Structure 1
Amino acid sequence: MTKPFNIIYEDNHLLVVNKRSGILVQGDKTGDKTLTDYCKDYIAQKYQKPGAVFLHPVHRLDRPVSGIVVFARTSKALERMTALFRKRDIHKIYWAVVKQKPKEEKGKLTHWLVKDEQRNVVMAHKSEVSGSKKAELNFKRLGKLNDHWLLEVRPISGRPHQIRVQLASMGCPIRGDVKYGFSRPNQDASINLHAFHLIFDHPIKKERLYLRAALPGEPFWEQFLEFEEVKAKDQHLDRTFSG
């Protein structure tokens, strides 16, 4: 059994981890143990903290998605990180693997999303409809390996299931994502979407953090490691694509 998370960054204010796919960030009706629970256990153990541990995720990743999750360890950090996400002063970069080749090498997708809470699915519309929220992302093809395309995705907004439903609406559902139209599930129930990079100013120290989460250590993802070289040189680039 692989660990539910690996630590990427840790100080008195923040805990940033690389989440394994299949782990919930926060509780739902399944009652399964969450990433928040695992990380609270880690803090309690490491710092021998009696009583309740203050630890709050400042954003979420869907259960089948892997990659970076940021937790606040103090109320001040939580307040400031929440504001950073709300104002979009945070650069998020995902890698997604799709079967269908996107027509354009790079582009921007804009949809209006409506979430069906009962079924936990999101519908994407081309124009505004009642109760919808605008969602935008930029994407770029990074390359092809064994019949699959690797895309770099930079969401501008942060809506539930946004990348999954927007890529599917372009005719490029993410590998393993049967909920949004991929033909078959991955064996481990993951989808090939990974929150790869996060760039933001530390909420207290104000220094710029460039955080990256290693790709999942499983054979399908590992064949894409050759593209990581490109990304490693990308630290100085805020809003541009790699390559």
Structure 2
Amino acid sequence: MAITDADILYEDNHLIAVNKRAGDIVQVDETGDEPLDEQVKKYIAAKYDKPGGAFLGVVHRLDRPVSGLILFAKTSKALDRMNAIFKNREIKKTYFAVVRKKPAKPQGKLVDWLIKNPKKNVVTAYDHQVKGSQYCELDYQLLTELDGYYLLRVNPLTGRSHQIRVQLSNMGCPIVGDNKYGYPRGSKKGSICLHARQLEFIHPVKKEPVKIFAKLPKDGFWEKFEKF
């Protein structure tokens, strides 16, 4: 499915943000499916009549079954500066996650050490540092309960692979649909109930505050949480 104007959340001469659909891959992988970065390149090339193609830099990634806000750089300067912003944690990332088990505390901080098995593409969390592990932390807050589902706002302070998924599972609250990390069944649509909701940062070139917001998917489930 091609990118359209409706998918674009923010765009200027330096950056472009897209509301990613669950199931899209950000960069090419072994599946051979067209990745999101290529779709965005085609969108820019068509919109601005660039037959030779357009530059696009991948600033960060979202797992394939995750929906929501993803940011790309349209220039190499913006890419370098956004990479530094993410590396230095000068950005606030907000996610929505839906779980079936109510957290023991309505809000809190999770600290774990993660190890990824690249062959199985699975991450394991430990409550103490082990050889080869990476430190990670996030803050969460319970926003509401609807029909036996609990909506959490999650702010990851680090950016590790599968971090939110494995940390919530390690807390005893696997994300709905995420059978890789403990939810009893997967989604037929290949999605999990994790959505990248918002990014806040200082623009790498304009030096102005930027806040980008991504609406929830219209899939018959997420809509009930949109007001939050």
Q: TM-score over 0.5 for the alignment?
A: yes
Q: Which amino acid aligns with 1:99?
A: R
Query: Do residues 223 (structure 1) and 218 (structure 2) align?
Result: no
CA RMSD of aligned residues (A): 1.3
- 1:3 offset after TM fit, Å? 5.7
Q: Which amino acid aligns with 1:51?
A: G
The correspondence of residues 169-208 of structure 1 with structure 2, limited to 5 A, is: 169-208=170-209
The correspondence of residues 135-154 of structure 1 with structure 2, limited to 5 A, is: 135-154=136-155
Q: Tell me the matched-pair count.
A: 227
Whether contact under 8 Å (1:3, 1:20) holds in the other structure is no
Determine the C-alpha separation between the residues in 1 that align with 2:200 and 2:153.
15
The 3-state SS of whatever aligns with 1:150 is strand
Note the alpha carbon deviations across 1:37-86, whole angstroms, 9 max, x for none. 10000001001102231101100000000011110000100000000000
- TM-score, length basis structure 1: 0.91
Whether contact under 8 Å (1:57, 1:69) holds in the other structure is no
- 1:2 offset after TM fit, Å? 8.8
- 1:226 offset after TM fit, Å? 2.8
Determine the C-alpha separation between the residues in 1 that align with 2:215 and 2:227.
12
2:163 paired residue number: 162
Determine the C-alpha separation between the residues in 2 that align with 1:136 and 1:50.
44
1:233 paired residue number: none
- 1:187 offset after TM fit, Å? 2.2
Query: Do residues 104 (structure 1) and 105 (structure 2) align?
Result: yes
Note the alpha carbon deviations across 1:4-25, whole angstroms, 9 max, x for none. 8710011110011110000000
Determine the C-alpha separation between the residues in 2 that align with 1:226 and 1:50.
41
2:11 paired residue number: 10
The 3-state SS of whatever aligns with 2:7 is strand
Determine the C-alpha separation between the residues in 1 that align with 2:144 and 2:51.
49
Q: Residues 106 and 2 (structure 1 numbering): CA distance in 2 closer, same or farther, change over 3 Å?
A: farther
Whether contact under 8 Å (2:198, 2:212) holds in the other structure is yes
1:34 paired residue number: 35
Determine the C-alpha separation between the residues in 2 that align with 1:27 and 1:88.
26
The correspondence of residues 28-67 of structure 1 with structure 2, limited to 5 A, is: 28-67=29-68
The 3-state SS of whatever aligns with 2:123 is strand
Determine the C-alpha separation between the residues in 1 that align with 2:190 and 2:104.
28
- TM-score, length basis structure 2: 0.97
- Runs of 4+ residues over 4 Å off in structure 1: 1-5
Q: Unaligned regions of 5+ residues in structure 2, if any?
A: none
1:119 paired residue number: 120
- 1:189 offset after TM fit, Å? 1.0
- 1:110 offset after TM fit, Å? 0.4
Whether contact under 8 Å (1:18, 1:69) holds in the other structure is yes
Determine the C-alpha separation between the residues in 1 that align with 2:161 and 2:115.
10
- Of the structure 1 ranges 31-40 and 50-59, higher mean CA displacement relative to structure 2 is found in 50-59
Determine the C-alpha separation between the residues in 1 that align with 2:133 and 2:214.
32
1:239 paired residue number: none
Query: Do residues 73 (structure 1) and 74 (structure 2) align?
Result: yes
The 3-state SS of whatever aligns with 2:160 is coil
